């Protein structure tokens, strides 16, 4: 069995990446990282964890969304001034990069305004290397329920972000198909 | 956006704004690796009972010898002595609070600016503040008026240079109406009740953030760890049913203030108006006393 330090070592990067997508301020991310591992550590006492990556991603996503939600509610400093440290080199020219950052911020704020389960499902589906079944298992839901939540989240985000052009995304289509089955 | 193209195979629909936003998050999120000290911190959590590390079988305890008892006593003494010098995270926080409190209490006078947002629908009001801690006198310079308050003497003087009018009144502080001097004094007196709320970079300074709840007001103080003095103060509270934000910054701590600035003397040529003590003053949306339609006031020409 894996020791706790080895477990941390194996998954720290994954958790950090998950948190950093949601929280652009490093100090917030650091706090959230510790809260995630503390929660994971405490939760593990009550029983074995079948799929550590899925579990940690789920905890990190919830923690980060919760923090983002609080920050957004407080309408404070966070995320209105992105932390430019550590942003990867990108080929996009500055105006396009600025536009992308603004769009990314709008998405984070819109996700923070979603109901918690929708926010978690949308974020994990969009960014994490997990199948829908793994996400469902991590969240204690059925795959169909994940599909429904994802559909609702995307519809709410579409409204929040503004008018979209033309066709819905493949994700929306597949979810819509699930709904009509 | 050409940078989006490679992700099309990822199930992304470029015509969907949500999908474009997802790509934007992917492409602009910080990609620096997790700081090693952070990993070390969480890796050091104690292993809970029953966690994956196999526990060795318990051995029967050896019969304590006199030497063993002496060693145990010595170890306990060493641990107690070491504990006295060790600082727990909570204590470290207390040290920081005490240090900040010590620094700020040494300061006798400060200049800064204060802005109010949410009280009016148009641009936030900005004013210059001069505050002297020994006397408690505060001078707030608005674009069209000067407000002097003396909480110890319980008086207020409003000067309107354009109208050449001075309004004198008893000071009736509204606890829900933040004042610059009140915020500074709150921090001076109540920093021990504040919560540490992480760090944040303000104007190039990696500040330590403290939060303080007083009544319905949530106050945040960004403190420069070098000077141990705030570089920004923000109060969020409801005033007249509106969510307002009072922000103070551009601090100049420990300045020497001209005594004339804090004088309650009415400048020559001003028409002076006083209000009966029993009559509450009315304030406009900016928090300024209403002087155009005084109620119960008694105009006095000095």
A 109-168: CB under 8 A from B? 126-127, 154, 157-158, 161-168
The pLDDT, as a whole number, for residue B188 is 66
Does position B221 have pLDDT exceeding 60, yes or no? yes
Which residues in B lie closer than 8 A to residue A172 (C-beta atoms)? 16
* Dist. CA B261–CA B148, nearest whole Å: 9
Q: What is the mean pLDDT of residues A5-33?
A: 86
DSSP of chain A = ---HHHHHHHHHHHHHHHHHHH--SHHHHHHHHHHHHHHHHHHHTTS--S-HHHHHHHHHHHHHHHHHHHHHHHT-STTTS---TTBPP-SS-HHHHHHHHHHHHHHHHHHHTS-HHHHHHHHHHHHSS--HHHHHHHHT--HHHHHHHHHHHHHHHHHHH-PPPSSPPHHHHHHHHHHH-
* Dist. CA A76–CA A74, nearest whole Å: 5
Give yes or no for A63 touching B (CB within 8 A). no
B 181-220: CB under 8 A from A? 198-201, 218, 220
Contact A90 B47 (CB under 8 A): no
Contact B16 A38 (CB under 8 A): no
Give yes or no for B8 touching A (CB within 8 A). no
Which residues, in sequence order, are CB contacts of B291 under 8 Å at separation 6+? B158, B160, B163, B165, B167, B273
Q: Name the nearest CA neighbour of A148 among B163, B70, A156.
A: A156
In this structure, of A95-104, A165-174, B21-30, B89-98, the range with the lowest mean pLDDT score is A165-174
CA distance B90 to chain A (A): 16
Contact B25 A27 (CB under 8 A): no
Which residues in A lie closer than 8 A to residue B48 (C-beta atoms)? 41, 44-45
Which residues, in sequence order, are CB contacts of A42 under 8 Å at separation 6+? none
User: Percent of chain A scored above 70 by pLDDT?
Assistant: 72
Q: Which of B23, B30, B53, B206 to mutate to test the interface with A (most CBs of A within 10 A)?
A: B30
The pLDDT, as a whole number, for residue A44 is 66
* Dist. CA A55–CA B46, nearest whole Å: 20
Angle at A109 between CA A103 and CA A110, to 5 degrees: 85
A55-59, B183-187, B298-302 — most confident range: A55-59
Structure tokens at A172: 């929306």
Contact A162 B38 (CB under 8 A): no
Q: What is the mean pLDDT of residues B243-271?
A: 86
Q: What is the mean pLDDT of residues B153-168?
A: 82
pTM of the model: 0.42
* Dist. CA A17–CA A31, nearest whole Å: 14
B 222-251: CB under 8 A from A? 236
Q: What is the mean pLDDT of residues B24-32?
A: 83
Contact A166 B15 (CB under 8 A): yes
Does position B93 have pLDDT exceeding 70, yes or no? no
Structure tokens at B199: 């760090």
3-state secondary structure of B275: strand
* Dist. CA A121–CA A36, nearest whole Å: 17
Spatial contact of B51 and A1, defined as CB atoms under 8 Å apart: no
- Which element (helix H / strand E) includes B201? strand B195-202
Work out whether the CA dihedral A101, A106, A109, A115 comes out positive or negative.
negative
A37-41, A58-62, B177-181 — most confident range: A58-62
CA distance A78 to chain B (A): 9
Q: Name the nearest CA neighbour of A92 among B23, B10, B32, B17.
A: B23
């Amino acid at each position: 069995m894996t020791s706790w330090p080895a477990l941390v070592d194996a998954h720290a990067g994954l958790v950090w990446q998950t948190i950093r997508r949601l929280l652009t301020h490093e100090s917030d991310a650091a706090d959230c990282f510790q809260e995630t591992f503390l929660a994971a550590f405490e939760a593990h006492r009550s029983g074995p964890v079948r799929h550590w990556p899925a579990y940690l991603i789920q905890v990190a996503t919830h923690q980060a969304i919760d923090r983002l939600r609080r920050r957004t509610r407080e309408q404070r400093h966070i995320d209105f001034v992105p932390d430019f440290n550590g942003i990867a080199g990108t080929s996009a020219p500055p105006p396009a990069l600025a536009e992308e950052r603004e769009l990314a911020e709008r998405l984070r704020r819109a996700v923070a305004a979603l109901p918690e389960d929708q926010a978690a499902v949308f974020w994990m589906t969009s960014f994490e290397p997990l199948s829908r079944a793994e996400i469902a298992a991590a969240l204690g839901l059925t795959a169909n329920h994940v599909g429904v939540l994802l559909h609702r989240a995307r519809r709410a985000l579409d409204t929040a972000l503004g008018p979209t052009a033309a066709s819905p995304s493949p994700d929306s289509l597949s979810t819509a198909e699930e709904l009509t089955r | 956006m050409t940078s989006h193209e490679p992700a099309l195979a990822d199930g992304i629909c470029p015509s969907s704004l949500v999908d474009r936003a997802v790509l934007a998050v992917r492409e602009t999120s910080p990609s620096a690796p997790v700081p090693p000290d952070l990993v070390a911190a969480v890796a050091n959590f104690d292993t809970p009972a029953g966690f994956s590390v196999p526990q060795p079988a318990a051995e029967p305890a050896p019969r304590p010898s006199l030497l063993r008892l002496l060693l145990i006593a010595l170890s306990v003494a060493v641990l107690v002595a070491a504990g006295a010098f060790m600082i727990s995270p909570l204590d470290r926080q207390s040290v920081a609070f005490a240090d900040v409190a010590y620094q700020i209490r040494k300061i006798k006078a400060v200049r800064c600016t204060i802005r109010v947002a949410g009280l009016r629908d148009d641009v936030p009001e900005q004013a210059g503040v001069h505050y002297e801690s020994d006397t408690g006198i505060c001078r707030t310079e608005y674009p069209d008026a000067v407000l002097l308050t003396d909480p110890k003497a319980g008086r207020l003087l409003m000067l309107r240079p354009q109208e050449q009018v001075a309004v004198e009144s008893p000071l009736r502080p509204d606890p829900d109406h933040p004042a610059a001097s009140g915020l500074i004094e709150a921090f001076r007196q109540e920093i021990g009740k504040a919560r540490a709320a992480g760090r944040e970079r303000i104007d190039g300074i990696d500040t330590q953030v403290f939060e303080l709840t007083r009544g319905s007001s949530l106050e945040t103080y960004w403190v420069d760890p070098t000077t141990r003095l705030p570089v920004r103060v923000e109060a969020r509270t409801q005033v007249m049913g509106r969510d307002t934000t009072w922000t103070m910054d551009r601090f100049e701590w420990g300045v020497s203030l001209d005594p004339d600035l804090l004088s309650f003397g009415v400048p020559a040529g001003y028409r002076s108006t006083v209000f009966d003590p029993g009559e509450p003053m009315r304030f406009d949306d900016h928090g300024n006393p209403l002087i155009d339609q005084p109620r119960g006031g008694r105009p006095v020409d000095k």
